[in-house]
Amino acid sequence: MILCCGDALIDMLPVTDATGTPAFAPATGGAVFNTAIALGRMGTDVGFCSGISTDIFGTALCAGLKAAGVEFRHVIFSDRPTTLAFVTLRDGQARYTFYDENTAGRMITPQDMPLLGPETRALFFGGISLAAEPAAGTYATFLTHNAASRVVMLDPNIRPSFIRDTASYRTRLSAMIARSDIVKLSDEDLHWLQGPGTLADLARTMLSMGPKLVLITEGAKGAHGYFGAHHVFEPAQKVVVVDTVGAGDTFNAGVLTALARTERLEKSAIAALDAPMVAQMLRLGNAAAAITVSRVGANPPFAHEITL
């Protein structure tokens, strides 16, 4: 099983009501939640670990997990409110304003986290949960405790406007990157972390920190994989883009699904990846993401919808 650890929230999506008045419609979301849903829809054995509210939004989140076949016995329930993310779109690109104070997802502590059994072969971390305490420190500690024995994939999915203490965030994230086997970043995330430079140079600097595989997505251009001295690029599938909500999250699920299908969810297997396998991972990630961006909101595809 792949255990997805991180944010679950409600995206308030921009809509127009019957009178033509701008409004917002709630939809389940969150970077890590979206990845878990996408994994479940692709038929991959997946579980979810996060703080979820017992309010009406939390009930909707749990219903979404259940419908996608995501196991959620590691969810930490509380009566705190659900995080809300108000989404605005500019040229199809999503921008977010978060309301996250004192929420069920943010207020979890290391004492809340589960002890994992041998069925959990890989962990996925990411999203805004890595930016705000106490959840950020909780997930960092959980990663540290489990990284030696399980494959770890990390996608920080950086939202600069949400980060209040940039220095602490960078320090914590660097430590998590060093303990991860796979790190995925958008090109924007990579430049935010490391500044100007070519993708290749910056990705290899990232590799030197500890990961065995660094994945860089460039939106409509495609995705890169850097490992050892090697580089693989796979172009994105061409589709009509409705919006980009959940695209990167779905890409992550495609990558992990490719590893699960080929029985490579082992640390030794990640260290031994070759170019054909990395290309296969990128193709599945791109194909799944292409379907998501052709739909409104984060609506990942089912396995039967994906063509390579």
pLDDT of residue 92: 60
Is the per-residue pLDDT at 137 higher than 70?
Answer: yes
**Domains in the chain with CATH codes:** 2-300 (3.40.1190.20)
N- to C-terminal Cα separation, the chain: 24
State the burial class of residue 268 (Cβ atoms within 10 Å of its Cβ: 0-12, 13-18, 19+): exposed
Is the per-residue pLDDT at 246 higher than 70?
Answer: yes
Q: How far apart are CA 212 and CA 226, in angstroms?
A: 8
Q: How far apart are CA 132 and CA 99, in angstroms?
A: 12
pLDDT of residue 298: 86
pLDDT of residue 307: 87
Distance of CA 42 to the CA centre of its chain: 15
Residue 124 — very low, low, confident or very high, per pLDDT cuts 50/70/90?
very high
Give alpha helix (H) positions in 94-213: 135-146, 166-178, 187-194, 199-207
Mean pLDDT on 134-157:
97
Handedness of CA 143, 147, 153, 158 (dihedral sign): positive
Tens of pLDDT along 171-223?
999 999 999 999 999 999 999 999 999 999 999 999 999 999 999 999 999 99
Is the per-residue pLDDT at 37 higher than 90?
Answer: yes
Contacts of 139 (CB under 8 A, 6+ apart): 5, 6, 125, 129, 130
Q: Give yes or no for a contact between 23 and 53, defined as CB atoms under 8 angstroms apart.
A: no
pLDDT of residue 243: 81
Is the per-residue pLDDT at 140 higher than 70?
Answer: yes
- Predicted model pTM: 0.95
Tens of pLDDT along 11-28?
898 888 888 898 999 999
Tens of pLDDT along 42-73?
999 999 999 999 999 999 999 999 999 999 99
Handedness of CA 127, 132, 133, 137 (dihedral sign): positive
Is the per-residue pLDDT at 77 higher than 70?
Answer: yes
Is the per-residue pLDDT at 94 higher than 80?
Answer: no
Residue 148, amino acid: A
CB-based burial, 241-250: b 16+ in 10 Å, e otherwise: bebbbbbbbb
